[in-house]
Chains A and B, each alone.
Chain A
Amino acid sequence: MNSYDLIIVGAGIVGTACADYASEQGLRVAIVEPGTIGGGATAAAMGHLVAMDDDPAELALAHYSLQLWEAFTGVPQLEYSRCGTLWVAANEREYALIPTKIARLAAASIKAELIERERLYQLEPALAAGLAGGMLVAREAVIYPPAAARHFLDRALARGTVLHRSHATAINHTGLQLADHSLLSGPVLVATGCALPQLLPQLPMRARKGHLVITDRYPNLVHHQLLELGYADSAHGDADSSVAFNIQPRPTGQILIGSSREYGSTAADVSMATVTRMLQRCFRYLPALRQLQAVRIWTGFRPVSADGLPYLGRVPGQAEVWVAAGHEGLGVSTSLGSARLVIDQLLGRATAIDARPYDPARIAA
């Protein structure tokens, strides 16, 4: 009776995307989530659907996923907005790097264009004077991530997926033990992000704290998701603490202001020192932000794997245990591709992109 074709642990954006796709493929699915649907890193995230070009595997997964997101552009509750991503070059050195980035993106079939200084200010008149130019990725978009998780779950539930509102306490040889003493039998897929080590201690996971600020409604101040080109240095560098200019116009007219990255902090409290540093960075690029009214500040934790790439696939040494976790700041962008990569392997099918860079065996072996 409590037997399933797949038991998914965690109903964040990744777990719910897995439930959606697995149920669509005809599997009898259970999903285990004691908390809010999409209430962890998913709810804290910006919801920027973006491809980063600095790692070929990550880029392939992002491109695959961004294509899959196109199926959801018309779902109202997702608040899908194709604002595009405008990367801003602070100086000539950063501007000179853009053609290489455009070529890398083009190799992954993503169209990006060089934006000269004059056009940069036509696109975004509020940007600070003295910037060198930019790179526009016009097809990229933003969504509201917790609503996407809810939507994926609702689709799965409509196909007969069963939601268990309990904590998963242990994986055993027949399936999953829950805190309410029930036992679910079947293959287990763990998609619990930062909480992964509770069930799979052999797969290292670090939490990387971030802060976000959201303003009141100021429509048309900015039109694109704006990031500094040095963002990847902050995002993929290994510094204990870093900030980068990363601004998003919400469809409501509100402006979402990021970003910060910190290792070693496990408390969810807002650090005003970090927020100040982050805002000072953003004011340099967008001075008009100084005058605006912020309405909320919050924190979240990005799940970071041992090498920065998500664990997607079978857990080595455990035939019936699978994992989809460790996407750091790209979990929303790459959730749909991640789900397909894992479920297609589970079904013994060929995957649409090379699954080997994500094989958890690279770490746990």
Chain B
Amino acid sequence: MSAARLTIDINGHALEVAEGISVAAAIAILGLPFRRSVGGQWRAPLCGMGVCFECRVRIDGLAQQRACMTIVRAGMQVCTDD
């Protein structure tokens, strides 16, 4: 048995993923870096449970969304580094 698939957009790449996974998991599948801090350092998910805020990305135009706490939706636009 396999989960239904849907397509999201991450930094301009169309990606087909399983329904029900987090945006953080989708970004990991694509192998893209997450985001840079204000000081220019790379950041990536640390806790995976909404506490550390290291996985923040822009989702459908709204910045500072926690990728680990957001479930993918069909057509979602994700930007990891803006």
A residues near B, CB below 8 A?
Answer: 216-218, 252, 291-293
Contact = CB atoms under 8 A, between A and B. Distances in A.
- Interface SS of B by simple majority: strand
A291 B58 CA distance: 12
Given A291-B62, A292-B64, 12 more contacts: A216-B56, A216-B63, A216-B64, A217-B38, A217-B63, A217-B64, A218-B63, A218-B64, A252-B38, A293-B56, A293-B64, A293-B65
Nearest to B65: A293
Contacts of A217: 38, 63-64
Contacts of B38: 217, 252
Interface hub of B38, B62, B64 (most chain A Cβ within 10 A): B64
Nearest to B56: A216
A30 to B, nearest CB: 39
A218 B64 CA distance: 8
Contacts of A292: 64
Contacts of B62: 291
Interface SS, A side = loop
Interface of B: 38, 56, 62-65
Nearest to A288: B62
A217 B37 CA distance: 11
A102 to B, nearest CB: 36
B58 to A, nearest CB: 10
Nearest to A291: B62
Contacts of A252: 38
B67 to A, nearest CB: 13
Closest 3 interchain pairs by CB?
A: A216-B64, A293-B64, A291-B62
B4 to A, nearest CB: 28
Contacts of B56: 216, 293
A291 B70 CA distance: 14
A292 B63 CA distance: 8
A69 B38 CA distance: 29
B41 to A, nearest CB: 15
Contacts of A293: 56, 64-65
Nearest to A215: B64
Residue of B38, B56, B63, B65 with most chain A CB atoms under a 10 A cut-off: B63
A293 B64 CA distance: 7
A122 B19 CA distance: 40
A316 to B, nearest CB: 52
